Amino acid sequence: MTPPQGTRTQTKVERPDTQPVVFVVDDDASLRGAVSNLVRSVGLKVEAFASTTEFFAAKRPDAACCLILDVRLPGVSGLDFQTELAKAQIQIPIIFITGHGDIPMSVKAMKAGAVEFLTKPFRDQDLLDAIQIALERSRASYANEKAISELRAKFETLTPREQEVMAWVTGGLLNKQVAAEIGVTEITVKVHRGKVTRKMGAKSLADLVKMADLLGIRRTKT
């Protein structure tokens, strides 16, 4: 790494339970320590590991996070580990660092969703900037997952019939069409629809449709 030019990236103070975490995986102890110290110098929490196995076994926080990952590691390479994380559905923005990078390697990493691909020696500020981009991406993903989780919890409070009505109504069917589909009266559908709207906290049909899209429950006639 080389000394940064200009003002270093500043971070806002967050509660311990929501403080983002920067993970570092590099088998080079000296570089691992240097990167960790740099991250701490801007007020961010950091956890460092010598291998992907150590990282995979560690508990990940219920908060925004990102991973600084060396490309060349003993055993599983950084690029292969990126693939493993995707298969395991572990959503974490990755910043690759390497002393032996090439264009095909960087293209492969970026196509797979990496935030940045930095070649050693790199400027401290370039890494700090990449970390901020990665954490913002993680925050957005975390917020979306949390919103979906909260919606799913509300959806589970609906009765099976109310869930069915919500699926059909948000699919574009009129009350009388929904009634015909599920074998009840139009009045019954109206009652269920009102309960669904109230329990889900929807302000309008459009709002309810957005919720159904996030939950992936909309039903349409074929």
Q: What tens digit of pLDDT does each residue of 136-192 get?
A: 999 998 888 888 999 999 999 999 999 999 999 999 999 999 999 999 999 999 999
95 and 190 in a single domain? The answer is no
Could you tell me where the beta strands, DSSP code E, fall in the chain? 21-25, 45-49, 65-70, 94-98, 116-119
Examine the domain organization and report whether 129 and 185 are in the same domain: no
Count the Cβ atoms, other than its own, within 10 Å of residue 182: 15
Last residue of a domain, one of 95, 121, 147: 147
Average pLDDT over residues 1-9: 44
* Domain end point (choices 147, 172, 203): 147
If asked whether residues 38 and 93 sit together in one domain, one would say yes
Instruction: State whether 111 and 181 are in the same domain.
Output: no
Give pTM, 2 decimals.
0.69
| Rounded Cα–Cα distance for residues 128 and 42 (Å) | 9
Number of domains making up the chain = 2
Q: Sorting pLDDT into bands at 50, 70 and 90, what band is 6?
A: very low
Question: Worst-scoring range by mean pLDDT, 14-28, 41-55, 106-120, 202-216?
Answer: 14-28
Of 53, 19, 11, residue with least CA distance to 142: 19
- 69 is in which domain, residue-wise? 21-147
Last residue of a domain, one of 96, 121, 147: 147
pLDDT of 222: 65
pLDDT score recorded for residue 136: 95
Strand, coil or helix: 118: strand
pLDDT score of 39 more than 50: yes
**Are 102 and 48 in a shared domain?**
yes
Q: In whole numbers, what is the pLDDT of the chain averaged over residues?
A: 89
- Beta pairing partners, 97: 70, 118
Paired residues of 46 in beta bridges: 22
CB-count exposure of residue 121 (10 Å: 0-12, 13-18, 19+): exposed
Instruction: Give the pLDDT score at 50.
Output: 94
- Record the tokens describing residue 32, joined without a space: 């691992």
How confident is the model over 83-111, as a mean pLDDT?
88
- The reply to whether 53 and 117 lie within a common domain is yes
